[in-house]
Amino acid sequence: MKKQSNWRKLLVEPGLSLVDAVKRLDEGAKRILIVVDKRDRLIGTVTDGDIRRALIRQTELTTPISEIMNTNPKSATHAWSRLRLLSFMERTDLLQLPIVDEKNKVVGVTFLYELLKKPRIDNPVCLMAGGFGTRLKPLTDSCPKPMLTVGDKPILEIILERFIEAGFWRFYISTHYMANTIKGYFGNGSDRDVEINYLDEREPLGTGGALSLLPREEINAPLILMNGDLLTNLDFLSLLSHHELSQSKLTMCLREYEQQVPFGVVNTQKGEVKSIVEKPVNRYHVNAGIYVMEPSVIAGLEKNQYVDMPTVVDRLLEQRASIGYYEVSEDWLDIGRLDDFKKAQQFVLESFSEL
């Protein structure tokens, strides 16, 4: 989702006069003002149409805009994808849409004309699709896990469409188990106006080993790596921007995971009870299965040698390379077990209804 870089100039207080609102609209040239309280929480919008109607009614120019603003404005959250924003704005005839967080604080503004610009991102994307999906048996006896249908599409197709929607077009898919099923479905990507190449693992190589099969001369920009059994509406462009700004060798996506102890936890010291905490919740950062890495990370991998990603990370840490992280706050689901596969059906309805 793209947000206007100078959107803060559109924020105004409800006490702003009509005449000053006209000036601000003219200065901003965005045909909208976002009315917020002192904590930047959304309370209304004023468009050029609202101004015209007020002037036709001969409203006094000193009138505060709180009297003419739309007090029930539409808004979206940062989790909305470009396609969802487009669909909503076209359906509601909106040219601009405030973006708010969970506290209704304005965190951006998106514009229809920007959404209609088709981005083209040259960074390569590698999707891991070679696993056996053992925990999803018997579903995977006759179908590779990334090709299991969620809603009305294979998991891997949903992932691919998210990236294409964001503007990515250079794809590599690692394959091993039932590789021909995947290749036969996606082909070379020409029917989607993208480029798809395959990394054929003759034997399981682990995620790092599969990356070693990439044509290194073609990897000339940070690469996004993602497991082929994940569903998320993560903003991939924000992730990429975060990685580039951090100047890290590798960026790991993390999720916050909560684990509640089902009992009262008693803290003791020297034979005495010091405190008791009833059913405490412990929080951890866990690996979300999505990475961004510099070409040099891939160049350092030994070809056709088994290596998993924790080992790749450990080796980079030993070299004192900078490893950053990006916290995934958007919807995310790892389809690793049968229960997860069942959850995915509802997950798609709630988070991917626009696809």
Do the domain assignments include residue 280?
yes
Mean pLDDT over 8-37 rounds to: 88
In a domain, 313, yes or no: yes
pLDDT at 6 over 80: no
Residue 264 included in any domain: yes
pLDDT of residue 4: 44
Tokens of 9: 């100039």
- What gap in Å lies between CA 187 and CA 50, rounded to an integer? 51
Write down the pLDDT at residue 177.
Answer: 92
Residue 101 lies in a domain: yes
Domain boundary among 67, 96, 115: 115
Does 232 fall in a domain? yes
Say if residue 72 is in the same domain as residue 199: no
pLDDT of 2 reads: 44
Say which residue, 342 or 249, is predicted with more confidence: 249
CATH of residue 87's domain is 3.10.580.10
Q: What is the CA radius of gyration of the chain?
A: 25
Give residue-wise pLDDT tens across range 61-70.
999 999 999 9
- Whether residues 181 and 258 share a domain: the answer is yes
pLDDT band at 198 (very low <50, low <70, confident <90, very high): very high
1 domain residue, yes or no:
no
Q: For position 227, what pLDDT does the model report?
A: 95
Between 80 and 243, name the one with better pLDDT.
Answer: 243
pLDDT tens by residue, 121-140: 999 999 999 999 888 899 88
| Contact predicate 33/21, CB 8 Å | yes
Q: Answer with the one of 65, 86, 115 that is the final residue of a domain.
A: 115
Residue 62 · residue 18 · CB < 8 Å:
yes
Q: Do 151 and 108 belong together in one domain?
A: no
Residues 317 and 250 in one domain: yes
Instruction: Assess whether 347 and 214 both reside in one domain.
Output: yes
Element (H, E) at 143: none
Same domain, 17 and 41: yes
Whether residues 78 and 169 fall in one domain:
no
**Same domain as 223, residue 89:** no
**Do you find a cis peptide bond into 138, omega within 30 degrees of 0?**
yes
Give yes or no: residues 60 and 181 share one domain.
no
**pLDDT tens for each residue of 40-76:** 999 999 988 889 999 999 989 999 999 999 999 999 9
In terms of residue numbers, what domain contains 325? 125-351
Residue at a domain's end among 71, 95, 115: 115
Residue with tokens 């088994």: 306
Band (pLDDT 50/70/90 cuts) for residue 230 is very high
pLDDT at 9: 86
What DSSP designation does 134 have?
G
- Average pLDDT estimate for 26-32: 81
Same-domain pairing of 330 and 232: yes
pLDDT tens digits for 269-315?
Answer: 988 998 999 998 988 899 999 999 999 999 999 999 999 999 999 99
Separation between Cα atoms, residue 41 and residue 100, nearest integer Å: 8
Is the model's pTM score more than 0.85? no
Nearest partner of 112 among 6, 22, 2, 7, judged by Cα: 2
**Is residue 83, in this structure, part of any structural domain at all?**
yes
Look up the CATH number of the domain holding residue 248.
3.90.550.10
Structural domains in the chain (count): 2
Is the predicted pLDDT of residue 5 greater than 80, yes or no? no
- Mean of per-residue pLDDT scores for the chain: 90
pLDDT at residue 1, as a whole number: 45
Residue 286 lies in a domain: yes
Both tokens of residue 306? 């088994």
Which region among 2-11, 257-266, 331-340 has the lowest average model confidence (pLDDT)? Answer: 2-11
Q: Do 15 and 139 fall within a single domain? A: no
Q: What's residue 352's pLDDT?
A: 66
Question: Do both 272 and 132 map to the same domain?
Answer: yes
